[in-house]
Amino acid sequence: MAEKLHFSLVSPERELFAGPVDQVDAPGSEGDFGVLAGHAPFMTALKEGQVRVYDEGRVIVFDVRGGFADVTPEGLTVLAEHAVEAA
pLDDT for res 87: 80
The alpha carbon torsion through 29, 35, 41, 42 (nearest 10 deg) reads 0
Q: Whole-model pTM?
A: 0.94
Residue ranges per domain, the chain? 5-85
Q: In the CATH hierarchy, which top-level class contains the domain 5-85?
A: mainly beta
Instruction: Give yes or no for residue 6 having a pLDDT over 70.
Output: yes
pLDDT value at 2 more than 80:
no
- State residue 1's pLDDT score: 56
Whether 19 has a pLDDT exceeding 80, the answer reads yes
Residue 76: its pLDDT value, please? Answer: 98
